[in-house]
A = this chain, B = another copy of it.
Amino acid sequence: MTHRIAVIPGDGIGNEVMPEGLRALEAAAKRFDIDLELTHFDFACCDYYEKHGKMMPDDWFEQLKDFDAIFYGAVGWPEKVPDHISLWGSLLQFRRQFDQYINLRPCKLLPGIKSPLADRKPGDIDFYVVRENTEGEYSSVGGKMFEGTEREVVIQETVMTRYGTDRVLKFAFDLAQSRPRKKLTSATKSNGIAITMPWWDERVVAMTGHYPEVSVDKFHIDILTANFVMHPDWFDVVVASNLFGDILSDLGPACTGTIGVAPSANINPEGTFPSLFEPVHGSAPDIAGKSIANPIGQIWSGAMMLEHLGHADAAKAIVDAFEAVLTEADPAVLTPDVGGQGSTKTLGEAIARRI
């Protein structure tokens, strides 16, 4: 069985880390005898926008919809295209049109990576953020009134549906159920955001009834971010709305020192459409072109993709490989962000060799 993968490097360091992501993928495919067919695309980036006045061709949906997965680098280059245009013209379209309603991001303390938190060691922090990825606070509904005057009013709607909420909760409960600790934390703000969030809490309670083994708690988003810093060991699976999940899935990796290397999966669990795998980091204009970007985010995203495609063993081999290379901590191999003098390529090659 051949897995057809659409490869989209995107902007900035996306172009530098993608070759290393593919290198690891191909090494794992070879070792585990997995048949991958890679197709490269040059759209969904700001260079494409500069040439064509849009982020993607009109038939992007047709071009991509039959792939088994999309392997994405990073998108955005504010000096060329304002972020809300580049993002709403690419990544956010993928998430929405391909109904990738789960955004899954691991937060894990890795060997050899310095955490900004005091007194934490690998094993102490190991949880997932499950983020709703298609609706909620990321609506395109709203507008302005009295524009350009002193009376200007700007309105944007948060839209949550039972359909959209229950399915992300179900995914999160299933994930918690499958893990040893079986613990689920819901991110809310029902004390302040008093229409949508108390309703979110009700949906969590309704779902709780179906999972008697899962222990459930909830925190308001303000104190939850505080607890990520103070008690990251409390968490196992954290489920959150689109915006809250966005925040928590940057903050979580920041607490483990892995923000430059964390992966993410944008999943359409039914497989009706391709799922999308991308590092959490962005296109990083400040270091783009210097060949010093850490490729682990891209490589780890590739591991999540293989796992999604049914190859948990190959995924594990990739994770084991980069953990081993990090543990070895050879400064000639590691990129500067993790204390080395190596390049994107030296680190990517060392990981591929290890696989």
Contact = CB atoms under 8 A, between A and B. Distances in A.
Contacts of A115: 118
Given A118-B118, A150-B162, A195-B140, A229 B226 contact: no
Contacts of A158: 142, 155-158
Copies of this chain, tallied across the complex: 2
Interface stretch (A185-193, A292-300, A301-309): A185-193
Interface residues of A, number: 63
B156 A196 contact: yes
A192 to B, nearest CB: 5
Given A153-B161, A155-B195, A195-B156, A251 B230 contact: no
Interface string A144-187: 10000111111111111111000000000000000000000000
B82 A198 contact: yes
Which of A119, A221, A230, A246 counts the most chain B CB atoms within 10 A?
A246
A156 B87 CA distance: 23
Interface stretch (A28-36, A253-261, A343-351): A253-261
A221 B138 CA distance: 14
A207 B194 CA distance: 31
Contact of A118 (B117, B155, B223): B117
Interface in A259-302: 259
Given A84-B194, A138-B192, A161 B152 contact: yes
A163 B142 contact: no
A193 B156 contact: yes
Nearest to A148: B162
A259 B152 CA distance: 36
A312 interface: no
A140 B250 contact: no
Given A150-B162, A198-B82, A192 B246 contact: yes
Given A137-B193, A155-B159, A158-B158, A247 B246 contact: no
Given A189-B243, A226-B253, 12 more contacts: A83-B190, A137-B193, A138-B193, A150-B163, A154-B160, A189-B246, A222-B249, A223-B250, A225-B225, A225-B254, A227-B254, A230-B259
Interface of A: 76, 82-84, 87-88, 92, 115-119, 137-138, 140, 142-144, 149-163, 189-199, 221-223, 225-227, 229-230, 242-243, 246-247, 249-251, 253-255, 259
